[in-house]
Structure 1
Amino acid sequence: MNLVSRIRRFRFSGGGNSFWSIADQGLFAVSNFVLNLILARWLSASAYGAFSLAFTLFLLLGTVHTALVVEPLLVFGAGRHNANVGAYLRAVLKLHWVLAALLSLLLGALVFLWPSLRTQLGGTTFALMFAAPLILFQWLARRACYIDLQPALAARAGGVYLALTLALATLLFCTGALTPVTALLVMAAASVVSAAQIFRTLLRSRRALEPFSLHETWTQHWKYGKWALGAALLSFVPGNVAPFFLSFAHSLDAVGAYRALWNLLQPAMQLFAALGVMLLPTFRKQGAALSLRRWTGRLLLVALGYALLLAVFREPLLELLYGKKYLTYSRALILAGLVPLSSAVIAVLAAFLRAAELPRSVFWGYAGSAAFTMTGGLVLIWQAGVEGAVVAAVLGYALTAAVLLWATLHLRKRGA
């Protein structure tokens, strides 16, 4: 077999899909990672803390959107609606704009009614309300590429997003106009351009055989997504409740420090998220034929190497990326490096359970960790600040991985 044939075979094989899925998530992650690094390095700790708090609120909206729009799209688009996926995509797109607008309005109301948040965020709230539906538009577009396992399309759009984000951020930085508000607007602008490119391609190649009504689409998504929503909100807690509590119990400086450490975990966790997305429709179409042990083992090996890298080079990394601002938290980075180990397990097992249309199992997988985080985790944060928040996250993710492992083994044993 010649080289060209090997390349073509890899491109259209599972290995090729893995490559493009990693490329897609990598390009997207690099864009936001670099933007966060620029803000963390050049803004004051309190200003970066304010941006982190606002972005955490956005992630909460994204959690709801993913559970009710994106995740059902991946399951139903690859399954029951695959024969008429063009009409289904158009209906889901309408659902996105309606739900995203409502979520943005709820966000504004929350900040308005919460005086301390209103004081800490200020005008960033309005930028976030405007940007959130546009950024979520890109989230939806990228995931839509995985219905028929087309991560290459998402990766190309990711390249556009990366180029636009870095170009606009650099321009704003050089002119002294880079702030939390303008950073959100940069993300929104780049999201619209890249997402429009994806949907133009997807919808052009898929004719609508029979139209789907918005009500029908919402009913199906809610029936599936209500359990996924509970699981998603619970999964949000271990890694993201800390900024809120740190801002109240300590300071915005502490929020900025915690997010600066969390930034360094994102490359590995985004990688696992990408593979988890790819595995969901794969498990849906191939079932248990794909080895859970093989995928879990591979991701754990990557996570272990990443944790060792952070532990050995923690101080040079922190100084290179942030200057001396966050060097006092270098020991906490050793503990934080354990989070991707659990994240690797969660990505594979959650994809398997969701593909089996068992979001309820994923819900209970996150329930225990959320309960711990909101009790013992808050005590740790209150007593130990940033370090306590890191310990709480490590324990919360580990608990989720353990419960999902039990649920998966139980399902496999029952199906044997």
Structure 2
Amino acid sequence: MKNLTRMLKEPGSLALADQCVLSGTNFLTLLFVSRQVSADQFGRFSLAALGLLFLANAHRAIVTQQLNLLGASEDASGLSTRIATLLRAHAVIIPVSIAILGALCVRFFPDLRLFVGASCYLAFFMLQETLRRYWYTVGRIDRAFANDLITYGGRLAILFSISFFTVVSGSTVFLIMAATSLIAFIAGLPVVDIARTVTMARIREVVAQHATTSGWLVLTVLAMWGATQLYPFLIEPLGPTAIALFVASRNLLNAIGIAVQSAGNYLPTRAAKLLHEQGPAGFRRHLLQTLANATIVSIVFILPMLVFATPILEVMYAGRYNDAAPVLRMLSIGIFFALVGTVLGAYALALQDARSNFLSNLGATAFTFTGGLWLIHAYGLSGAAVGGCLSVAIATVLQGAFVWSGIRRLEEADRGHGTTMSPRTGSDSPIRVQPECSIRTGADA
């Protein structure tokens, strides 16, 4: 029991538990809304949620990931000033983000109440997420986990409580999400070491640092969205019901997201260590073994979706979206490519090759706006499912080509020098990487 308690308090275990809470709550929230509202309303809610997810990804690239990277090497005073600056910067970030959300609303989900609810959630989510990432930066994952229990656990408690008394609309769900995020932010703010005064010179310095280092990350976010996330928006001409069927299928497949996220978090540092200790040969062997394991996990997950698609939809959505069975079967095949792509992306990071992340997803984006659009035009919803699967497959194949090319270069350098070379510098020093996966099917907003 003592060993179990100690293991649960380990940072890695807490981080995994935190991710489970976040991913599980987002999965259950979509499931809850799908059973509360009509198919048309669920389609519009899903587009609003995807718009929020895009803005959350951009916020992560510009603000929170830079907080992790830059703040990790700062002393307490410097980090205190950085978090103070970033929180103040939300006075500009939030209105700009809401304006972008408004543009998406006008085009894709014209519903004023839905927009108001989503805007409130976006504002308070960004503030709470900034605090959450601050705790990850200072190594206090226990505080991040506790704060997320307020945000996400509180959300589920309220949603399921009021559902006994009334039917909950999509806009109400967003307002509840906003309320729990605000409560968590207010609860967490007093325990964060925030500088009380910050000079304008320091504010300009922090803003310049984030602007300089986030450029490629923002481009990568755009590329990943073009590769995997745009299809619900592209099928908007087919109507809200078609969007609801597509999103209902994808939501079930997001159940494997915890495994994908865990692999993306763990593998880069593990692979980098192997490359340093065992050289390219050991790195290659470990990659092949990991790919074999990923294939087995994918098959175990995919087979029930292929065989029991209709019964699964019947149970999960109370018979509302049984017509999505063909879409679910096709999209489930993409899980194999998503998981393999995550593995390859992690090993690419171990090779210190972050550029391949962008290029592989850019190639998939090019297909989305050519072959994907043609498939939707020719075959409707089924074409969107095929296109989504092919986009992920293309990104994975391209990422694999980059990884194998990098391994070959390392092996040639190793044979030429007779030592284990690091991929960029030619030294045998340990390789440090940021644990982020390359090819994804989505992120949690």
Q: TM-score range by the shorter chain?
A: 0.7 to 0.9
CA contact (8 A) 1:381 1:388 kept: yes
Q: CA contact under 8 A between 1:64 and 1:232: conserved in structure 2? A: yes
Structure 1 residue 360: Cα displacement:
3.2
Which moved further from structure 2: 288-297 or 397-406? Answer: 288-297
Q: How far is 1:218 from its partner?
A: 2.1
Distance in 2, Cα, partners of 1:85 & 1:288: 32
Distance verdict in 2 for CA 1:130–1:153, change over 3 Å: same
The equivalent of 1:333 in structure 2 is 328
Q: Distance in 2 between matches of 1:97 and 1:228?
A: 22
Instruction: State the one-letter code of the partner of 1:48.
Output: F
Mapping 1:66-145, distance limit 5 Å: 66-78=60-72, 80-81=73-74, 84-112=78-106, 114=107, 117=108, 120-145=110-135
Structure 2 equivalent of residue 318 of structure 1: 313
Q: Tell me if structure 2 keeps the 8 A contact 1:128–1:184.
A: yes
Superposed counterparts of 1:137-286, under 5 Å: 137-198=127-188, 200-201=190-191, 203-204=192-193, 213-248=202-237, 250-277=238-265, 282=269
Deviations 1:34-84 (A, max 9, x none): 221121123111110110111121122122212211222232233x43664
Q: Is the 8 A contact 1:105 1:129 kept in 2?
A: no
Larger proportion of helix: 1
Distance of 2:90 and 2:405 partners within structure 1: 35
After superposition, give the CA deviation of every residue in 1:246-271 in whole Å (9 maximum; x if it has no partner): 221x1110001111001101121244
In 1, the alpha carbon distance for the partners of 2:104 and 2:46 equals: 17
Structure 1 pair 170–122 and aligned structure 2 pair: CA distance change class (3 A): same
Shift of 1:6: 6.5
Residue 427 of structure 2 corresponds to: none
SS of equivalent to 2:166: coil
In structure 1, runs of 5+ residues without a counterpart are: none
Q: Structure 1: which amino acid aligns with 2:53?
A: L
Write the distance in 1 (CA, Å) between the matches of 2:267 and 2:69.
11
SS of 1:324 mapped into structure 2: coil
Equivalent residues in 2 for 1:351-362 (5 A)? 359-362=354-357
- Determine the structure 1 residue equivalent to 2:297: 302
Residues 194 and 406 of structure 1: is their aligned pair in 2 closer, same or farther, counting only changes over 3 Å?
farther
In structure 2, the partner of 1:21 is 15
SS, match of residue 379 in structure 1: helix
The whole-number CA distance in structure 2 between the counterparts of 1:326 and 1:75 is: 43
Cα separation, 2, equivalents of 1:88 and 1:287:
34
Normalised by the length of structure 2, the TM-score is 0.79
The structural deviation recorded for 1:299 is 4.8
Q: Are 2:26 and 1:32 aligned? A: yes
For the structure 1 residues 87 and 309, does the alpha-carbon distance in structure 2 shift closer, same or farther, using more than 3 Å as the test? farther
Matched, 1:43 2:43: no
Shift of 1:173: 2.3
Q: Distance in 1 between matches of 2:259 and 2:16?
A: 6
TM-score, normalising length: structure 1: 0.84
| Farther-moved stretch of structure 1 (51-60 vs 294-303) | 294-303
Distance in structure 2 (CA, Å) of the matches to 1:275 and 1:192: 31
Whether contact under 8 Å (1:18, 1:278) holds in the other structure is: no
- Whether 1:52 aligns to 2:46 is yes
Cα separation, 2, equivalents of 1:222 and 1:348: 29
User: Which whole-Å deviations, capped at 9, do the CAs of 1:4-34 have from their partners, x for residues lacking one?
Assistant: 25753x356xxx4443222111111222222
- CA pair 179-40 structure 1, distance change in 2 beyond 3 A: same
CA contact (8 A) 2:68 2:137 kept: yes
CA–CA distance in structure 2, aligned partners of residues 91 and 284 of structure 1: 35
Alpha-carbon contact 1:269-1:340 (below 8 Å) kept? no
Percent of pairs with identical residues: 23
Number of aligned residue pairs: give it: 401
- 2:23·2:257 contact (CA, 8 Å) conserved in 1? no
The structure number with the bigger radius of gyration is 2
Unaligned runs of 5+ in 2: 278-282, 411-421, 424-445
2:280 counterpart residue number: none
Q: Is the Cα–Cα contact under 8 Å of residues 307 and 338 in structure 1 kept in the other structure?
A: yes
> d(CA) in 2 for partners of 1:369 and 1:144?
33
For residues 108 and 381 of structure 1, do their structure 2 counterparts lie closer, same or farther at Cα, with a shift above 3 Å needed?
same
Partner deviation per Cα, 1:104-139 (whole Å, 9 max, x = no partner):
123224544x4xx36x43431222222212123333
- How far apart are 1:327 and its partner, in Å? 1.3
